[in-house]
Amino acid sequence: MRFGILGPLDVRGPDDAPVPVGGPKVRALLGLLLLDPGRVVGTERLVYGIYGESPPPNTANALQSQVSRLRHALPGLVERHPGGYRLAVAPDDVDAARFERLAREGGDALAAGEHAAAAKLLHEALALWRGPVFADLPVLAEGPSARLAELRLTAVEDRVEAELGLGDPVPLVTELRGLVADHPLRERLRVLLVHALHAAGRRAEALAAFDDARRHLADELGVDPSPELAQAHLAVLRAERPPVPRRIGVPEPFTSFVGRTAELDRLTGLFSTSRLVTLTGPGGTGKTRLAIEAARAYRGEVCFVELAPLDDGDDPAQAVLDALGLRQAALATRLRGRSPAAERLVNALAERELLLVLDNCEHLVDAAAALAGELLQGCPDLRILATSREGLGITGEALCPVPQLGLPPPEATAADALGYPAVRLFAERAAAVSPGFAVDAERVGAVVRICRALDGLPLAIELAAARVRSLPVEEVAARLDDRFRLLSRGSRAAAPRHRTLRAVVEWSWDLLDDEERALARRLTVFSGGATIEAARQVCGLEPAVVPEVLSSLTEKSLVELGGDGRYRMLETMRAFGAERLAEAGERDRLHHAHAAYFLGLAGAAGRHLLTAAQLEWLRKLDDEHDDLHAAVRWTTHADTATALRLLAELLPYLWLRGRRAEATALAGELLGVLDPGPPAGLAEEYALCVFAAAFDDPGAPGLAEHQQAVFACFDLIGKPPGHPFLLVLWGAANGIPHQDTIDHHLRLSIFRSADGWSRALDRFGWGMLWLYSGKAEQARREFAAAREQFAALGERWGQALVLNELARLTGWQGEHAEAVRLFGEALELAGELDALEDRGEMLCLRAEAHLRSGSLESAEADFTEAALLGRRLGTREITASAWGGLGDVTRLSGDLAKAERLAEQALAECPSGLFGYDEVRAHVAVTLGRIAEVKGDGEGARSRYREAALSGLGRADLLVTALAIEGLAGVALLEGEAGTAARLLGAGAAVRGTAMAGDPDVARVAAGASAVLGEAAYAAAYAEGEALTKDDALRLAGLTGPAPPAR
């Protein structure tokens, strides 16, 4: 997809057709996400951007409502992350990001003297503009508009300068006069106009243009012309080109410069307000390379000084003198507190305009800070650009953190991935050592894994790309668990500390004190970052010192403080710290402390997840998701009792958030190390684990033994259970209870003293029992009561489930508009919870309602979105159900071959053995029966309908049984038995407890039978079937015993 903000907000699909997004607030939300494509945007920023100074009372719910609407418009693209949301698109999919990249590349080409390439890139960049930024969203336009408009004007200036360099100044004069008139105080335009007139041979006009500029600056600003404008004037007077500024010590790069557009732009902006800018970041982020590019682009004199070779105690002022070619005067004593070298340097630079680059200051940070302070005080025209893993910490310093290169999402295609700087860097460096290497569909997965595993660190990516010369890229990706051994051979031309990944990290680690090293290695047990409180509880330092040490580690670029208040380590630094943790003998103790902390947090959250406060607590668990997951994984193999307790606390969270596949995987892994039967005191936790594991592969080795062990230990489970969510998983795994099963006794005994949520769930459960037993009105009453009770609790998930079933019943009874409204309410609540799996199931049911109302297009849209969700989430039941539904849409559209392929595809996706899976398989069997029936294959259709009916009877599922009986009516009509067909249609309604209003297949068979029998005879036969008992209806359909005689 393509997105445009350089003008009115514009969204285009893969076919370039416009995609409708929604109202102003949804469009504002999309606009805010598009300003940072592929990156997480904080919730506070989103709320302020949408609502300004007047947010609604419940901002979290209001924002979630807009997110839900946007997800409906852009399925699969809006992702929830700790602290905010992310639009999963490549930067180049957004015109503003594409413009910035092209403008930066054009500027780089201009700085390198490549005028033709620069002009081409800049023309392409400027062509993306369709009007003012967010022209139709004034609420968003103010901030980004000014920044992008400035970048646009800079790109225009660069383009004009590039075209001047191509030697055709005449056409540019008129354009420049117009630009100067629009921006009279912009000196660069004045400089370009003077140069253009001079180059066109219009010397008198060039001098007049300078005089006009001088007068305007004096009158409006009271300032003299800049050095650049004055030099342009002198060039006209002397008929000469401006002098090329000196570049002292600036290294000449061996390779291309990839990414960092935003950082270079920010540097330019910082130097307009600060004379000292420090590039900060961990080793390997590319601070030195960024400083080199900034020095090359600087339009004045530059001196680049490398401080890494200096030892502690060496004077950095002497290194600068050496670089400038100045000898130190023979001074015997320090003057004004300065070293002799510093005094000499201040005197030499006092009246000199210069950008001084001090590279790699971290090991001499105090001396470098002192020198910078002295130079800035004594040299008013001096600017300093420093690189360091921590700031210099002096007044007036502007910090410019150098982040990791932009990373694509794990599932990115080759085309999308190449829109991210990290992947482009890998591709270029790999192609340099292995000609012909390209990031294609086969390699993109491995390349993305490499770049993400290496945190987008340029040095690490370059080292990994170099290994492509001798290893397949898939092997490089597979061996990154031992990254320090794998990435141990770098360029011989690089400094020793940059030749291996380990050397880069050790350089930073060795600069830490003992307390900093202790906290740094202990923080490695956190997978998703740590809050101050978590670090205090887990890391074993004096609680009072933890904030100070975390602050110090942040300043030294060992950890990063996120906008959500969490301290995170890059994976490379974390891997190194984990080695140190093991060497210190602290690993097991820290992991136990980590698991205990998160068990406590999950337990505290569990008391609120089924209440009106659930959104707040779901967000808290979202923020800790990675660590909760890691704690379960670690305890699974080290402390199974804690693992069972932790998983039991987490299962409601994972289900409410629609992460059932994750719950199933964790439970399956834990069951794999447990013997059948519950550990002492953990019967409920064990049962939860067993039922959660059943949702992946019901036939998995050992699962049956664990299920038998759960039923055997039923008496050990509390009445009511301490974990109310056990009731959900029990029902979901085992389906509709038979009267003589343990489930029935559980339901009769478990709720006598249960909490309000469990009582509401009980009403919902009885509603489902009546629904699947063919008693529609009893089901409706139970659902209405459950809805009222869940609403009184403020619990959204329960309300969504009940609304979904009420919508289904309402649609059956012909109230299609009301059914769609109820489905919409259910989907809105599921959206507030980010419950994507529930959304997928609800979409399938709403699609079925659309089918019955004759809206094939709406049905296809819902089934398609559900299929995409199911595939993305790894939920086979949803995927299969959606494919089966698409088979029905295709069948009703007349393409029987494609319909059959989709139905068979659904069966292949969905194994048997679990209630939900078998329900889907039965519905797909009905679809295949319909296809065979339309083809005229009565026996094939009968076989499929009987398969579906017997599956339903075996699971006490009369809903699909009723569908199959109605299908058999079609077979009877096909065989010339119109009366039997009419009675079977009535029998199907009797078994279901209600007719299926609007069902196109029932309508087709009813019309055929009525045409043969006449309306009165058809109605009588239908009524005869509708009056049958369930057992007689089944006999009529040939499913049990002999059929009852016709009256």
Alpha-helical (H) ranges within 307-413 are: 316-324, 340-349, 365-378
Spatial CA neighbour of 164 closest among 189, 138, 133, 142: 189
- Residue 400 φ/ψ, nearest 5 degrees: -125, 90
- The predicted structure's pLDDT at residue 497: 47
pLDDT score at 862? 93
Neighbours of 231 (CB within 10 A): 16
Please report the pLDDT score of residue 824 as a whole number: 93
894 Cβ contact partners less than 8 Å away, ≥ 6 residues apart: none
> Tens digits of per-residue pLDDT, 909-945?
887 766 677 889 999 999 999 999 999 999 999 999 9
- Say yes or no to pLDDT of 327 above 90: no
**Percent of all residues in the chain with a pLDDT value above 70, rounded to a whole number:** 91
Q: What is the model's pLDDT at position 484?
A: 63
Is a pLDDT exceeding 80 seen at residue 53? no
Confidence at 523, pLDDT banded by 50, 70, 90: very high
Query: Of 991, 661, 1002, 658, which Cα lies nearest the Cα of 842?
Result: 658
pLDDT tens sequence across 196-205: 888 877 888 8
pLDDT given for residue 500 in this prediction: 64
Q: Would you place residue 498 in the very low, low, confident or very high pLDDT band (cuts 50, 70, 90)?
A: very low
The predicted structure's pLDDT at residue 699: 66
Q: Check whether 858 has a pLDDT greater than 60.
A: yes
Q: Which residues contact 760 (CB under 8 A, 6 or more apart)?
A: 786, 789, 790, 793, 795, 798
Distances 167 to 178, 233, 485 between C-alpha atoms, Å: 20, 19, 53
At 563-591, the pLDDT tens digits run: 788 898 877 788 888 888 999 999 999 99
> In the predicted model, is pLDDT for residue 228 greater than 80?
yes
Instruction: Of 457-461, 530-534, 540-544, give the lowest mean pLDDT range.
Output: 457-461
Task: Say which residue, 504 or 600, is predicted with more confidence.
Answer: 600
pLDDT in tens, 675-713: 999 999 899 999 999 988 887 666 667 888 888 888 887
Which of 634-638, 737-741, 1013-1017 has the lowest average pLDDT?
737-741
Confidence (pLDDT) at 859: 92
**Joined tokens for residue 928:** 């295949």
Give the integer Cα–Cα distance in Å for 801 and 792. Answer: 15
For residue 544, with 0-12 CB atoms within 10 Å meaning exposed, 13-18 middle and 19 or more buried, which class applies? exposed
Q: At what angle do helices 587-606 and 640-656 cross, to 10 degrees?
A: 40
121-137: average pLDDT = 88
Amino acid at 452: R
Specify the range with the lowest mean pLDDT, choosing from 365-374, 450-459, 689-698, 830-839.
689-698
Mean pLDDT of 578-605: 94
For residue 143, the model assigns a pLDDT of 65
Categorize the per-residue pLDDT at 242 as very low, low, confident or very high, splitting at 50, 70 and 90: very low
* pLDDT at residue 245, as a whole number: 53
One-letter amino acid for residue 63 of the chain: L
DSSP type of residue 570: -
Cα separation, 494 vs 473, whole angstroms: 23
pLDDT category, 321, cuts 50, 70, 90?
confident
Mean pLDDT of 98-113: 86
CB-count burial class (<10 Å; 0-12, 13-18, 19+) for 410: exposed
Query: Which of 15-19, 479-483, 805-809, 1012-1016 is the least confident region?
Result: 479-483
Mean predicted confidence (pLDDT) in 87-112: 88
Predicted pLDDT at 752: 47
Residue 141 has pLDDT above 70, yes or no: no
Nearest to 892 by CA among 906, 902, 907, 878: 902
Residue 612 pLDDT > 80, yes or no?
yes
pLDDT at 563: 78
Reply yes or no on whether the pLDDT at 1046 is more than 70.
no
pLDDT at 965 over 50: yes
3-state secondary structure at position 1018: helix
- 227, pLDDT greater than 80: yes
Cα maximum dimension of the chain = 126
Question: Looking at per-residue confidence, does 693 or 752 come out higher?
Answer: 693
Could you please report the per-residue DSSP string of 245-287? PPEES----SS---S-HHHHHHHHHHHTT-SEEEEE-STTS-H
Q: How confident is the model at residue 1032 (pLDDT cuts 50, 70, 90)?
A: very high
- Of residues 836 and 1047, the one with the higher pLDDT is 836
pLDDT, average across residues 266-283: 86
On average, the pLDDT of the chain sits at: 85
The 8-class DSSP code of residue 887 comes to H
pLDDT attached to residue 331: 38
- Residue partners of 226: CB distance under 8 A and separation at least 6: 187, 191
Tokens of 247: 């570049």
Q: What's the pLDDT at 790? A: 95
Measure the CA dihedral 644/648/653/656, to 10°: 130
Q: Residue 731 above 60 pLDDT? A: yes
Per-residue pLDDT at 573: 80
